[in-house]
Amino acid sequence: MKTLKQEALHIEKLSLSKLIYLKVKDIMLLTKFRLSSLVVFSAVMSFLLASQHGKVDIVQVVLIALGGFLVTASSNTFNQILEKDTDKLMERTKDRPLPAGRMKLIEAYLIAGICGVAGISILGIFFNPISGFLGALALISYAFIYTPFKKISPIAVFIGAVPGSMPLLIGWTAATGNIGVGGILLFAVQFFWQIPHFWSIAWLLNDDYKKAGYYLLPSSVGLKNRGTAFQNVPYLICLLAISALPYAFGITGVVSLFISLIAGVYFLIQGIQLTIDLSDKSARKLMFASFIYIPVVFISYVLDKI
């Protein structure tokens, strides 16, 4: 039989563990852990693709992943600091740590600052100054240019696609010491992928975004019409063409060429379907196609090289 003191101690331990769990969960929400992990994936794939055969150092892979993650976590945290008031207005974001009042602003600033400095330092010291500079550029452009621009114009989607594609350049320069044609091509693939990816999400969340004054669809008033839906198609066609360029430049092989073309055609079909029926169901399919595209194509690039 446990004494009352032992029971109280047990309850206190449970409470402490739960508090730690909740704090970690809030930090993951603040840094957008899942989004940061996708960025890490892109940087690592680019690093592996740029590395010479048989010369991949697992320690370097871990470091590029860590550096990329910390820079992205800092960018996302600064984003939530700047949007803490508007986040209260949207269903999707009102339960984030800052608008919900579960975290103090000073905590968020500390997390953003520590992650940013640590991430840029890792990229600049363990790899090269170019990688560190690109990391800093991605952080600044995402947090302090893209974030405020979301309330000004739908052009914010294009601005956001630049730091969103920067991990490919960071991974490439970390492995080679220069940006190079390969880095630019991989950057272009992710850049053109992000436009329909962003717009499919903006289509589905359009009403929620309007509450906060965001108009991210390619329309001055955020209309979900055929003209708006059709604007995905040219970017999907460009993506289809650009995804073949790594093969044309000898960076990847013929197998990944076919995989990227098949994935691109599937992505394009979903975009055309949205243009035809203008339904949220088609927009959701387009969004899920975007989630499938990047891992399938980039993994095929890397495996084809091996």
Looking at the structure, tell me whether residues 185 and 303 fall in a common domain: yes
Looking at the structure, tell me whether residues 303 and 161 fall in a common domain: no
Over 90: is that where the pLDDT of 53 sits? no
Straight-line distance from the first to the last Cα atom of the chain, in angstroms, rounded to the nearest whole number: 62
Over 60: is that where the pLDDT of 129 sits? yes
Q: What is the pLDDT of residue 265?
A: 97
User: Which of 133, 151, 178 corresponds to the end of one domain?
Assistant: 178
CA distance 74 to 97: 15
Phi, psi of 279 (to 5 degrees): -100, 155
Domain for residue 2, yes or no?
A: no
Tokens of 238: 């460009």
Which range marks the domain in which residue 33 is found?
A: 19-178
List pLDDT tens digits, range 87-103: 999 998 999 999 999 99
CA distance 283 to 224: 11
Task: Give the list of residues 6+ apart from residue 27 with CB closer than 8 angstroms, or none.
Answer: 97, 111
Looking at the structure, tell me whether residues 96 and 60 fall in a common domain: yes
Query: Between vectors from CA 86 to CA 81 and to CA 87, what angle results, nearest 5°?
Result: 70
Tokens of 144: 């302090």
Looking at the structure, tell me whether residues 164 and 231 fall in a common domain: no
CA distance 89 to 210: 9
pTM: 0.90
Q: What is the pLDDT of residue 7?
A: 52
Q: What is the pLDDT of residue 216?
A: 87
Q: What is the pLDDT of residue 21?
A: 82
Domain for residue 14, yes or no?
A: no
User: For 55-70, what is the mean pLDDT?
Assistant: 92
CA distance 17 to 112: 24
Phi, psi of 98 (to 5 degrees): -75, -55
Of the ranges 48-52, 256-260, 290-294, which one carries the lowest mean pLDDT score?
A: 48-52
Looking at the structure, tell me whether residues 128 and 194 fall in a common domain: no
- Whole-number average pLDDT of the chain: 91
Looking at the structure, tell me whether residues 25 and 173 fall in a common domain: yes
Looking at the structure, tell me whether residues 165 and 279 fall in a common domain: no
Please state, for a pLDDT cut of 70, what percent of the chain lies above it: 93
User: Which of 115, 150, 178 corresponds to the end of one domain?
Assistant: 178
List pLDDT tens digits, range 200-246: 999 999 989 888 888 888 876 668 889 999 999 999 999 999 999 99
User: What is the DSSP code (8-state) at residue 52?
Assistant: P
List pLDDT tens digits, range 147-203: 999 888 889 999 999 999 999 999 999 999 999 999 999 999 999 999 999 999 999
Please report, for the domain that includes residue 78, its CATH number. 1.10.357.140
User: Which of 131, 159, 178 corresponds to the end of one domain?
Assistant: 178
Looking at the structure, tell me whether residues 172 and 184 fall in a common domain: no
Domains in the chain: how many in total?
2
Phi, psi of 297 (to 5 degrees): -70, -50
Looking at the structure, tell me whether residues 206 and 270 fall in a common domain: yes
Query: Between vectors from CA 282 to CA 150 and to CA 238, what angle results, nearest 5°?
Result: 65
Domain for residue 26, yes or no?
A: yes
